[in-house]
Amino acid sequence: MLYSELVNTYQELEKTTKRLEKTYLIAKLLKKTNTEDLETVTLLVQGNVFPSYDQRELGVAARLILKALSQTSGIEQRKIEDKWASIGDLGKVAEELIAKKKQMILSKEELTVKKVITNLRKLAELTGAGTVERKLQLIRELLSSAQPLEAKYIVRTLLGELRIGAAEGSIRDAIVWAFFPPIIGIFFQCQKCKNWMPKMQKCLECGNKIDDKFAIEITKKHTGKILKIKSKKDLENKNLKNYDSILTEDEKTAREAYNYLINVVQTAINLSNDLGITALTAKTKGVKGLLTIALKIGVPIKVMLFQKAKDLEDAFSIVGKPAELEYKYDGFRLQIHKNKEIKLFTRRLEDVTKQFPDIVDIVKKNIKANNYIIEGEVIGIDPKTKKWLPFQNISQRIKRKYGIKEMTKEIPVMLNLFDVIMINNKNIIKEPFKKRRAWLDKIVKPVPNKLAVAKALITSSEKEAEAFYKEALEKGNEGVMVKNLDAVYEPGSRVGYGVKVKPTMETLDLAIIGAEWGTGKRAKWLSSFTIACKKGDKFLEIGKVGTGIKEKGAGVTFTQLTEMLKPLIIKQKGREVTIKPKILIEVDYEEIQRSPTYSSGFALRFPRVVKIRYDKPADEADSLEKVKRLYEQQRGRKK
Ligand code: AMP
């Protein structure tokens, strides 16, 4: 397939913000992609070069792209940088530069998606001497064959910011739309151009108006082969490829059948973590093939996430009674895979096996099973006092590439296990939580301060739950998890099968003292605001916030903040601006941490703007003393 065909879809995707339209465009692209290129196109449409379980990175910084652009276009790098600063999108800059060059030279060969992915993948494999020059060569090769628009998307893909809004959910739906027959009632056939459309007012191809009720009746009479089904289960046994559409007895069954197909594809994505393989399997092996995509030890699966409950009463009302309460350890999540060897993955599916030889060792010796996928939370232990340390203290171990052995002594860790996904070659995600968890007691031999099964209490009593929660906080945990005993493991979703309960933190009123001009679509707005508390009459930085601000609608918007702050800009350097402290915002956060990065010595974890404090002058920003006090009160950290 030519890369230009993919680029056409990128362009169209960029023009619309409507999810249904995006899905339709992606489905159209997948449908016309030949089988050989399908995996590649499915990855590239989301801007990915590797499936999400694959750790390889392109390792291309903006500097390198600037250099390649300069060499390809013959224009000085400094001039390209200036252009970039004013446009805010290096992709667009590439488009302009290549357009100018193309007026002079006609390129010899047309780019294919295969050529693009091959060069991009090679980038990730280069190491050692001469790497930079070889990377430059690979990028130049693509840019010099590229048409202007192709250059735009190559650069954006290199930077890892495609900006076309093709979310995983849209690609999942598009796989269903592309490779399974349309279900009548969910889809309609346009009477004018005969294309199949989801429920919408106008045909996306020819603009013809679609009248719901009327359309169902006409669609039923279409000339293709119709599969009539009684229930969603019929979809498993039929070869859907032989049919042009699916007809159900009523609308409810149509919706159920559609949701069934969506779920089958989603499960395949969750288990394989590979959109490309999922699309290819849907096309070549249908529902049956998707259902056999299995968990593979060594390939991380998306973890199940938890919702937040207001308090314990709320938690019980969500998960039911009795429930299992567990300490919510303040560390990071680890998915442990064991087959012949042991592999450790973070919640973001990064492979951290090398960084934690101590965990590999303890797990190898003290978990007795041939193979498994289990999950737990790693926390730091103070080597002297053996007290549990907050996450911040061990975060450096995750990124560490050298001196790892010494680190295991300096910052020892403990693993607290809380779930089992696969055991002795059996996928048990559909088994109730209490059964999955029971495996842990069978296979884990606890080692003090090193390995344990998460501390738990099964109860229906709110009084007992309160006491357990209090105990959890006193021990330095973040709070408790409250889990439904009968729930299955739902990879990748934030379902209410378990909820977290944590103390809410008092919000802070902080002054805005700096910001950054956005890039791309956000180039006209200030974003990423530097916030500060007060010490005497000085303002001290405590972090940056960009969350909680909307593009439009109710609440605090970027336009609103930009207009308020623009007259207060006192200095500008590149995209960064310094702002006179006049505006106060109320900020919510999950935790206060010590931080050498900011002048206050503290940072906020997950800060979020609640509102603008029009009623308070900046002088009344919260003080460093208050920040310190709140820090000390957190999770029984009081001395
Ligand atoms: P949050 O990151 O606030 O959404 O909370 C969920 C995270 O808490 C999980 O992803 C785990 O990393 C962590 N966690 C700590 N203790 C437990 C536990 N007992 N069960 C499940 N998750 C836990």
| Pocket flag, ligand 1, residue 306 (CB < 6 Å) | yes
> Could you tell me the pLDDT band of residue 266, with boundaries at 50, 70 and 90?
very high
The pLDDT of residue 219:
75
Q: Tell me the per-residue pLDDT of 163-202, one tens digit each, with 9 for 90 and over.
A: 888 889 999 999 999 999 999 989 988 888 888 998 888 8
Nearest protein CA to atom 4 of ligand 1, as residue: 306
**pLDDT tens digits for 371-406?**
999 999 999 999 999 999 878 778 889 888 889 999
Distance from the alpha carbon of residue 480 to the mean position of ligand 1, in angstroms: 9
pLDDT at 589 over 60: yes
Structure confidence at residue 108 as a pLDDT band (50, 70, 90): low
**332, 527, 541, 592, 639 from 595: Cα distances, Å:** 19, 22, 11, 9, 19
Q: Given 28, 67, 152, 328, which residue is catalytic?
A: 328
Q: Is 326 in the pocket of ligand 1 (CB under 6 A)?
A: yes
For residues 616 and 186, give the distance between their C-alpha atoms in angstroms, rounded to a whole number.
Answer: 52
By most ligand atoms within 8 Å of CB, the mutation choice from 377, 433, 440, 502 for ligand 1 is: 377
Mean model confidence pLDDT for the chain: 91
pLDDT value for 175: 98
Q: How far is the CA of 388 from the centre of ligand 1 (A)?
A: 16
- Asked whether the CA dihedral 536, 537, 538, 540 is positive or negative, the reply is positive
Pairing of strands 226-229, 456-459: unpaired
The pLDDT tens digits of the residues spanning 488-547 come to 998 887 788 999 999 878 899 999 999 999 887 788 899 999 999 999 999 999 999 999
CA of 478, closest atom in ligand 1: 15
What is the reported pLDDT for 105? 61
Residues above pLDDT 90, as percent of the chain: 70
pLDDT digits (tens, 9 = 90+) for 41-89: 999 999 999 998 887 888 898 899 999 999 999 999 999 999 988 888 8
Give 214's pLDDT tier (boundaries 50, 70, 90).
low
Active site residue 328: yes
Closest atom, ligand 1, to C-alpha of 483: 20
pLDDT at 638: 41
90-101 pLDDT tens trace: 999 999 999 988
Choose among 239, 251, 240: nearest CA to 187.
251
Tell me whether the omega of the peptide bond preceding residue 390 falls within 30 degrees of 0, making it cis: no
107 pLDDT more than 80: no
Q: Is the CB of 333 under 6 A from ligand 1?
A: yes
Give me the mean pLDDT over the 244-256 stretch. 93
Q: Quote the CA–CA distance of 605 and 390 in Å, as a whole number.
A: 12
**With a 6 A CB cut-off, is 522 part of the ligand 1 pocket?**
no
Asked whether 302 lines ligand 1 (CB < 6 A), one says no
Q: Sketch out the chain's domains with CATH numbers.
A: 48-159 (1.10.3260.10), 168-275 (no CATH), 307-501 (3.30.470.30), 508-636 (2.40.50.140)
Query: Cα 148–154–155 angle (5° rounding)?
Result: 95
* Lowest-pLDDT choice from 23-37, 48-62, 200-214, 366-380: 200-214
